[in-house]
Amino acid sequence: MDSPMSEWSNGTAVERSWTEAEKWVLVAVLGLEMVMGVVGNCLVLLVKVMCRGQFSCRYWLPFISLTMSDLGCSLLIISGSLLAMLTGGQRSPWCEVVSLLKFAFITSSIGSIAILCVQRLMGAASIGNAVFSAMVMACLASWVTGVVFGSVPVIYAWIKYDPAEMLCAVFWESSYSDMLVYILCAFSVCIFLPFLLILLCSLLTAAGCRRDDDDDDDDEDLSSVTPLLVAFYLLCYTPFAVSELILLGRLDLSPAPDWLRTLSSVMSYLDCGLNPLIYCSNQDFREAGLALLWTNRKSFSDPVLTGMTKLDL
């Protein structure tokens, strides 16, 4: 059976269907992304907790927040999209929960990367109690802000299942002004402000304006992967940003093309599975992870000497 997919004509949704080939390609892609995200981020958490003394990580708070966001997205959002492809949709109240959580995870992930960039720019001064408390509050604020803005469409019943995005999303059918106000507020607070922080801090760090005098240790610290995290986050979320900008530019309230909305979901999910691989580009972190896996493997496979018998010749 073909899966339904929405198509827009003159501001009105028209149903068409996924072909069987398209459906199973997307199922395979979503399944791979879910496995990468769940397994990779679980291993990252294990390494960070059990092997924290084997590698340097001065800015662990935003890394933990980002990993929790990626793991939550992989467990709840990607699996929800995978089930929706197999069953033909999502039903209330799971529909509303998925929409809320996806926005919360997007906001917390970009917020965590922004906090990491700020801490990296501040360098060693960021280990002070006052600064650390401020970073804790900033991480919590990114999560709370995402939940608050994600709750608004749920409260006003703007949520519907979108077969193109493969999950429940915001649909606008009444007021362009309401849509404009909400999207501008949400993007300004949750996306644009962290993006400016990321851009500014990255440029200042690249220009050598860091307060940390011990630059020789920077390559050994896990924070050395920050430029890769920023680059792949911007790459993976570009289709999502473009689809929202297209929506803002259409007075008939019709969303972006189906292929772009599908691409935005697939690419945003991909970022959750890529981040663990990016962490492993740091040599010390990679060696700590391999040592953890090898130690566990040896504990089950190596023979244990339980006794010795002396032979008299």
Give backbone dihedrals phi and psi of 118, rounded to 5 degrees, phi first: -65, -45
Give backbone dihedrals phi and psi of 17, rounded to 5 degrees, phi first: -125, 145
Whether the CB-CB separation of 171 and 96 falls below 8 Å is answered with no
Phi-psi region of 224 (alpha: psi -120 to 50; beta: other; left: phi over 0): alpha
Q: What is the pLDDT of residue 42?
A: 94
Over residues 197-215, mean pLDDT:
77
Q: What is the pLDDT of residue 127?
A: 57
**pLDDT surpasses 50 at 14:** no
- Highest averaged pLDDT of the listed ranges 47-61, 121-135, 205-219, 260-274: 260-274
Q: The pTM is what?
A: 0.83
Chain-centre distance for alpha carbon 128: 28
Give the chain's domains with CATH numbers. Answer: 3-286 (1.20.1070.10)
Whether the CB-CB separation of 277 and 44 falls below 8 Å is answered with no
Give backbone dihedrals phi and psi of 297, rounded to 5 degrees, phi first: -70, -40
